[in-house]
Amino acid sequence: MAFPEPKPEKPELPKKLVQNLECKQGAVRAVRFNVDGNYCLTCGSDKSLKLWNPHKGTVLKTYSGHGYEVLDAAGSFDNSQLCSCGADKTVILWDVATGQVVRKFRGHAGKVNCVQFNEEATVILSGSIDSTVRCWDCRSRRPDPIQVLDEAKDGVSSLRISDHEILTGSVDGRVRCYDLRAGELYSDYIGSPVTSVCFSKDGQCTLAASLDSTLRLLDKGSGELLGEYTGHQNQACKLDCCLNDQDTHVGSCSEDGRVCFWDLVEGSLALSLPVARGTVQSLSFHPAASCLLTATGGCIQLWREEAFALDDQVFG
Amino acid sequence: MAAPAGRDSEEEEALVSYGTALRPLIEGEHIKKPVPLQEQTVRDEKGRYKRFHGAFTGGFSAGYFNTVGSKEGWAPSTFLSSRQKRADKTAFGPEDFMDEEDLSEFGIAPKEITTTDDFASKTKDRIKEKARQIAGVAEPIPGASVLDDLIAPARITIGVELLRKMGWKEGQGVGPRVKRKPNKQQPDPTVKIYGCALPPGASGSEGEEDDYQPENVTFAPRDVMPVQLTLKENVHGLGYKGLDPTLALFGVSGEHINLLDDDFEKSNNLLGDVRNRKGRKLGISGQAFGVGALEDDDDDIYATEKLSKYDTVLKDEEPGDGLYGWTAPNQYKNKKRLEAEVKYIGKILDGFSLASKSAAPSKTYPPPDLPRGYRPVHYFRPVITASSENSPLLKALVESTGKLESDTAQQSRHTLNASQRRDLLGETALKGPAPSVLEYLSEKDRERIREAKQASEQQLKTKPLPQQSIHSRFQSACQESAHQKWQMALGEPLATAGSSDFKPFAKNPEKQKRYENYVESLKKGQKVDTLVSCLDPSMTEWEQGREQEEFFRAAMFYKSSNSTLSSRFTRAKYEDDTEKVEVPRDQENDIDDKESAVKMKMFGKLTRDKFEWHPEKLLCKRFNVPDPYSDSSIVGLPKVKRDKYSIFNFLTLPETATTTVTQTTNEKMQQTTNPNKPKKPSRWDVSDKEKKKKDSISEFISLARSKVDVQQQQEPATEKDKSRTNEALPNKVVNESVDQKEEEESRPSMDLFKAVFASSSDEKSSSSEEESDEEEHQTAAAGPASESTKCADPPDNSSAVQDHAVVTPEPDLPMPSALKEKLDEREFGPRLPPVFSSDTVQQHEPVQLTSFSEVNQKEKRKKNKEKHKTKREHKHKKEKKKKHKKHRHKGKHKNKKSEKNSSSDTAESSDSLSDAEMNVDLSPHELLRRLKDLPITKR
């Protein structure tokens, strides 16, 4: 091949509503794709956690065991376990198949906002309103956390884990990145309470959404601002942000019922997707396809690109 | 039964429902049906079907579905055809085709270790054999069972085989041969026989046989029959045997046959002692019955009972009595053994020889000798308490024994205290603070006390008796006894009681004083009258008595607790480290600078803090990451100890960015003056000397910028690793302490701040005013959960204080308590936002996020502004409103009624939330009304 490869075309953003599922579990606090994007989890305010096949629109399992509304959930890399956290101050490790509670981690002093597995699902990290992140060991039967990251001055709203880093967003307006390999903590001041953080796929950038209705893309290494995305509305609620599957766009929920996508490089608003009349509380982007899940009220919606045909239901 | 899932809400409203609804059926789920009878199966522990092959007639299940124990039947279990991996040959044994049940204890091929027949004891068989022999004798064809013996395979145990080789034969006893006739039953010559002699049939025949006995013939000892000791289960007398119906009725005829039979002897042998009654009638016989016409011998009608038939002497039992080796006394046994050794003439096996030395006799230990005065019965001594009634008795006792004191001390074990018991046991005293105050006194004082004590004792002795008796007439008896009790119970540590550090009546100083006096006089050993003088004279006698008792108890309590408890404690060696507190060494520095940097969108060095952070080892392990600080035990951020109440702990003012500002000016100078100084000063220099200074932010920014330039120019190479500002600062502390004060004073006035940030901050504060109001309102909505926010961490709280202290050097510093109060009213973090209007039946509220630090900041701005009175009123209203909102939250579920007008009201009322704040003139009444109309959400 003598010719240089043509510049890859920008992927099409999900615009087409494919599914609208009524979850019947109160308000859906969060919706999360699993690791391969075939299934999703919805966290209900009626204390239940549901596992769906959003592409077929079927509910697969209901996990009940929380004492109060479920606020976040995540699936393990091998899809064998789930973890969820809720306003009952607990973090629960579930067995996917049986629906049984494997472990219940107690120790947070307040609502637990976010929860994540590490890469090998050996540790669960949970961030809470009590301004701590706690690292729970799934391997041993130890009831107390391995470590408590209490550097935050205010509630921890969001949490991400890469292979050796822990990224937390806190209401004290800082994004903290704990580098386990280097043994260092980088604390970037954003100013406004951070509602959601995420890594880019290449692991070089962090995206932080804050209550000043702005998304900021920061260089992970230096903390420099790479891009700023505005146009949505986020002033009061804990809304999610995301990057799409190929790191070309940046997306966020909005309190005015839209989901906005910006071009990552240019910073221009690429798509404003009207989802609902109320706030879009949560969203999750498919890890490999142009596919988006949004949660508003008691429903979740699945969005696909325009070219997507309904019979093309098979996913990798 | 399941209610349809998607029912309309109106329909639901119209219906009245009782009880809890069934869980709606999920698609694809089918209802469990009861298992029909024909499908109910029984399976074993492996899940295989079990069939009852004649289960009730003793059948068993064989294999897998009646096959060979595997699903495939006889098919080979594995078929592997591969060049590399050949199926390994497995030799199948019969066990491979057996079920587990067969291998268990009672199966065909039990796997457990059991004794084989070769080694199994023969006792069982012997009994069986005997039974068979008896049966054979009793059978119509006698000796038929012999055939069985012939046919049955001979199975001989090792022991029997050995014995046989040594010349033993079946039916003989084991041991050396004896000269006498084995079966002889010689009557003891010393025993006199009363009454009639034995019938000739009984003893005569034996005597005759004896005569034939040649001298040199020896006989094997008689076989020993195992003695079966049966439990006595009935209430009959010893040795009583009721009539055996079999013997009574059938035995008679049988005996007749047997009498004629030659086998009779043999059968008697087998039956043991039955032989003794040889010749006697079996069956119903006795004097009362007489002799029937059918009975031919009537010689023993009147001679049934003979004394010789009873055992009169234990010692001289014959070896042939069947009890040999069982119950014979020791003496007898020993003698026999010696004899046996001499006389042993059995065949000796090849390879064995007769032992020349006898085996060491097992050592016997004699029972212990009893002491001389030992009496096997215990008598209880009369215990006499020293009361007035039995004083003569007591006296007598004292006289008799001469030592009542010691007796009482020993007897009243329970009245001893720990130290007395300790003395009795001879233990050493616990090491601890000396239990007595006397120990603390100087020698001289002690001497004085002793003298005083002696004097008082003498006084006591010399006191004339009548005087005492007069007094004693007025005093209650308890007082006197109290004194005795004192002497007895307090003993040596008396002096401690009533010492100054124990004040049981501290509340009542007068009483306390009286108590002290009382104890003091008691200590001196004064008598009752002086004791009474210590008490309040204005009190009645009864009251005095009570008080005395009270004092006594208090002193007792103090004494015991003092001496015993105090010895258990030891003085702390180190003072509690209350003054110091652990504080993270590095703290995120001042937000204000960062905020301005954020505003300028100067992300990067200005907004980033870098810390050394130590992950837990286990966490590294779980993340598959090498521990970066493998040799340190710190976890998290490194901490330093600082004064607990130092303001610097709470000022997150720091060595980093602020110093950047202030130092840059000095920096250049210093860099020229001492260029040798290390670029990176130790962090520890800074920790105890926190500097507090503030500079104009504009200056800061310009300097920061220039500094970056400077750094880049001057040290492009060395600064690589310290790309972050806070680290890159050299010589932070060199002369900070000198010009700290100066800088404090040179801080630019507030006007300058305003000049710099007038537009932006004013704008923000004005715009954020409503915003914050609104937000405040929203946060208040979640009021009921506000308790959880009490976990607000102090550093944050204090950072707010610091903000005030630094930014606004105004006199009216907000008190932290006021702040806290504010904080307590809110809930932070995600929470429910106000209802958004929609027509959908369900309204779901998104999670809202707030922070208290943010609120604090806003609060702070607010405070900077003038406070109008109206505003305060406004706040009142807000607070009221909060309460209402709580109600709203509670009543959410109930008030379905108001949902009717909610469709029209929602939009308005949700707006009204913010309207209410804007509109200051709204009366509380109006607010209330509006609140009532608030939309009701269903969930």
| Residue A116 or B85, more confident | A116
Q: Provide the pLDDT for residue A128.
A: 94
Residue of B650, B652, B742, B663 whose CA lies nearest to B699: B663
Q: Provide the pLDDT for residue B246.
A: 65
> Are B840 and A297 within 8 A, CB to CB?
yes
Please tell me the distance from the alpha carbon of residue B291 to that of residue B575, in angstroms, as a whole number. 112
Long-range contacts (CB closer than 8 Å, 24 or more residues apart) made by A163-166: A163/A119, A163/B623, A163/B624, A163/B625, A164/B623, A164/B625, A165/A199, A165/A203, A165/A220, A166/A125, A166/A133
> A281: nearest CA in chain B?
B846
Q: Would the pLDDT of B551 be above 70?
A: yes
Please tell me the distance from the alpha carbon of residue A79 to that of residue A83, in angstroms, as a whole number. 11
Nearest neighbour of A297 by CB, restricted to B609, B791, B842 = B842
Q: Provide the pLDDT for residue B191.
A: 44
A241-255, B62-76, B532-546, B646-660: which range is least confident on average? B646-660
With the C-alpha atoms ordered A98, A104, A108, A109, is the resulting torsion angle positive or negative? positive
**Burial class (CB within 10 angstroms; exposed 0-12, middle 13-18, buried 19+) of A288:** middle
> Are B622 and A129 within 8 A, CB to CB?
no
A·B CB contacts under 8 A: 234
Q: Provide the pLDDT for residue B274.
A: 40
Residues of chain B with C-beta less than 8 angstroms from the C-beta of A71: 830, 847
Please tell me the distance from the alpha carbon of residue B696 to that of residue B806, in angstroms, as a whole number. 12
> Are A123 and B623 within 8 A, CB to CB?
yes
Please tell me the distance from the alpha carbon of residue B153 to that of residue A161, in angstroms, as a whole number. 82
Q: Provide the pLDDT for residue A32.
A: 94
**Confidence band, pLDDT 50/70/90 cuts, at residue B800:** very low
Please write down the HEC assignment for all residues of B54-85. CHHHCCCCCCHHHCCCCCCCCCCCCCCCCCCC
Q: Would the pLDDT of B563 be above 60?
A: no
Question: Under a CB-based contact definition with an 8 Å cutoff, are residues A157 and A238 in contact?
Answer: yes
Question: Under a CB-based contact definition with an 8 Å cutoff, are residues A33 and A40 in contact?
Answer: yes
Which range, A160-174, B75-89, B720-734, is most confident?
Answer: A160-174
Q: Provide the pLDDT for residue B184.
A: 45
Alpha-carbon B288 to chain mean position: 77
> Are A164 and B843 within 8 A, CB to CB?
no
Q: Would the pLDDT of B259 be above 90?
A: no
Question: What is the number of other CB atoms lying within 10 angstroms of the CB of residue A75?
Answer: 24
Question: What average pLDDT does the segment B803-831 reach?
Answer: 41
Interface test mutation site (partner B, options A22, A185, A277, max chain B beta carbons within 10 A): A185
Q: Would the pLDDT of B261 be above 50?
A: no
Q: Provide the pLDDT for residue B208.
A: 43
Residues of chain B with C-beta less than 8 angstroms from the C-beta of A190: 598, 607
> Are B771 and A235 within 8 A, CB to CB?
yes
Tokens of B131: 């039974």
Chain A: closest CA distance from residue B96 (Å): 36
Long-range contacts (CB closer than 8 Å, 24 or more residues apart) made by B467-475: B468/B527, B471/B528, B471/B529, B472/B528, B474/B541, B475/B528, B475/B532
Sheet architecture: strand order including A48-53: A28-33, A40-44, A48-53, A58-64
Percent of chain B past pLDDT 90, that is, above it, reads 0
Q: Provide the pLDDT for residue B297.
A: 54
Q: Would the pLDDT of B282 be above 50?
A: no
> Are A224 and B624 within 8 A, CB to CB?
no
Q: CA angle at residue B548 from B546 to B549, to 5 degrees? A: 65
> Are B27 and A171 within 8 A, CB to CB?
no
Question: What average pLDDT does the segment B381-395 reach?
Answer: 58
Chain B: closest CA distance from residue A92 (Å): 19
Nearest neighbour of A111 by CB, restricted to B584, B623, B829 = B829
Question: Under a CB-based contact definition with an 8 Å cutoff, are residues A17 and A307 in contact?
Answer: no
Chain B: closest CA distance from residue A41 (Å): 17
Across B46-65, b (16+ Cβ under 10 Å) vs e yields eebeeeeeeeeeeeebbebe
Residues of chain A with C-beta less than 8 angstroms from the C-beta of B849: 155, 157, 171, 193, 195, 211, 236-238
Length of chain B: 939
Nearest neighbour of B723 by CB, restricted to A139, A222, A238 = A222
Q: Would the pLDDT of B16 be above 60?
A: yes
In tens, the pLDDT along B480-530 reads: 444 555 555 444 444 444 444 566 676 777 788 888 777 777 766 655 566
Interface test mutation site (partner B, options A85, A116, A147, max chain B beta carbons within 10 A): A147
Which range, A64-68, B360-364, B897-901, is most confident?
Answer: A64-68
In tens, the pLDDT along A250-301 reads: 999 999 999 999 999 888 999 999 988 888 999 999 998 899 999 998 899 9
Chain A: closest CA distance from residue B825 (Å): 16
Question: Under a CB-based contact definition with an 8 Å cutoff, are residues A68 and A87 in contact?
Answer: yes
Please tell me the distance from the alpha carbon of residue B432 to that of residue B562, in angstroms, as a whole number. 11
* Residues 187 through 206 of chain A touching chain B, CB cutoff 8 Å: 187-193, 195
Tokens of B26: 């999920």
Q: At what angle do helices B869-891 and B902-918 cross, to 10 degrees?
A: 150
Please tell me the distance from the alpha carbon of residue A279 to that of residue A257, in angstroms, as a whole number. 5
Question: Under a CB-based contact definition with an 8 Å cutoff, are residues A54 and A39 in contact?
Answer: yes
Q: What residues have CB less than 8 Å from B149, skipping those under 6 apart? A: none
Question: Under a CB-based contact definition with an 8 Å cutoff, are residues B789 and B779 in contact?
Answer: no
Domains parsed from chain A with CATH numbers: 31-240 (2.130.10.10)
> B852: nearest CA in chain A?
A154
> Are A297 and B608 within 8 A, CB to CB?
no
Question: Under a CB-based contact definition with an 8 Å cutoff, are residues A41 and A50 in contact?
Answer: yes
Q: Provide the pLDDT for residue B190.
A: 45
Residues of chain A with C-beta less than 8 angstroms from the C-beta of B847: 29, 71, 237-238, 281
Question: Under a CB-based contact definition with an 8 Å cutoff, are residues A60 and A76 in contact?
Answer: no
Interface test mutation site (partner B, options A60, A114, A154, A235, max chain B beta carbons within 10 A): A154
B219 φ/ψ angles, rounded to the nearest 5 degrees: -125, 150
Which residues of chain A, if any, have pLDDT below 70? 1-8, 310-316
Nearest neighbour of B853 by CB, restricted to A58, A172, A184 = A172
Nearest neighbour of A27 by CB, restricted to B622, B628, B844 = B844
Please tell me the distance from the alpha carbon of residue A242 to that of residue A285, in angstroms, as a whole number. 7
Q: Would the pLDDT of B829 be above 50?
A: no
Confidence (pTM): 0.40
> Are B830 and A157 within 8 A, CB to CB?
yes
Q: Does A296 touch chain B (CB under 8 A)?
A: yes
Q: Provide the pLDDT for residue B270.
A: 44
Residue B236's SS3 state is: coil
> Are B618 and A164 within 8 A, CB to CB?
no
With the C-alpha atoms ordered B655, B661, B662, B668, is the resulting torsion angle positive or negative? positive
Nearest neighbour of B828 by CB, restricted to A155, A164, A236 = A155
Chain A: closest CA distance from residue B838 (Å): 7
> Are A163 and B843 within 8 A, CB to CB?
no
Residues of chain B with C-beta less than 8 angstroms from the C-beta of A27: 844-846, 939
H/E stretch holding B872: helix B869-891
> Are A110 and B5 within 8 A, CB to CB?
no
Q: CA angle at residue B612 from B608 to B617, to 5 degrees? A: 130
In tens, the pLDDT along B675-695 reads: 443 334 434 443 343 433 444
Residues of chain A with C-beta less than 8 angstroms from the C-beta of B851: 154-155, 171-173, 193
Q: Which amino acid is it at B755?
A: A
Interface test mutation site (partner B, options A137, A146, A218, A225, max chain B beta carbons within 10 A): A146
DSSP for B615-654 reads: --HHHHHHTT---TTTT----BS-EEEEETT-GGGT----
> B795: nearest CA in chain A?
A153
| Residue B582 or B627, more confident | B627
Q: Provide the pLDDT for residue B223.
A: 74
Please tell me the distance from the alpha carbon of residue A2 to that of residue A4, in angstroms, as a whole number. 6
Residues of chain A with C-beta less than 8 angstroms from the C-beta of B637: 151, 185
Q: What share of chain B is helix, strand, coil (3-state, %, to 5)?
A: 50, 5, 50
A58-67, A93-102, B50-59, B924-933: which range is least confident on average? B50-59
**Confidence band, pLDDT 50/70/90 cuts, at residue B157:** confident
Residue of A24, A61, A40 whose CA lies nearest to A299: A24
Long-range contacts (CB closer than 8 Å, 24 or more residues apart) made by A233-236: A234/A195, A234/A209, A234/A210, A235/A211, A235/B771, A236/A211, A236/B775, A236/B778, A236/B833, A236/B848, A236/B849, A236/B850
Partners of residue B831 on adjacent β-strands: B848
Q: Does A212 touch chain B (CB under 8 A)?
A: no
Which range, A37-41, B267-271, B399-403, B639-643, is most confident?
Answer: A37-41
B31-40, B486-495, B739-748, B897-906: which range is least confident on average? B897-906
> Are A297 and B793 within 8 A, CB to CB?
no
Nearest neighbour of A185 by CB, restricted to B5, B613, B793 = B613
Chain A: closest CA distance from residue B739 (Å): 30
> Are B847 and A238 within 8 A, CB to CB?
yes
Question: Under a CB-based contact definition with an 8 Å cutoff, are residues B678 and B729 in contact?
Answer: no
> A295: nearest CA in chain B?
B846
**Confidence band, pLDDT 50/70/90 cuts, at residue B307:** low
Q: Provide the pLDDT for residue B422.
A: 81
Chain B: closest CA distance from residue A286 (Å): 22
| Residue B161 or A252, more confident | A252
Question: Under a CB-based contact definition with an 8 Å cutoff, are residues A294 and A254 in contact?
Answer: no
Question: Under a CB-based contact definition with an 8 Å cutoff, are residues B581 and B649 in contact?
Answer: yes
The mean of the pLDDT values for chain B is 58
> Are B846 and A27 within 8 A, CB to CB?
yes
Residues of chain B with C-beta less than 8 angstroms from the C-beta of A240: none
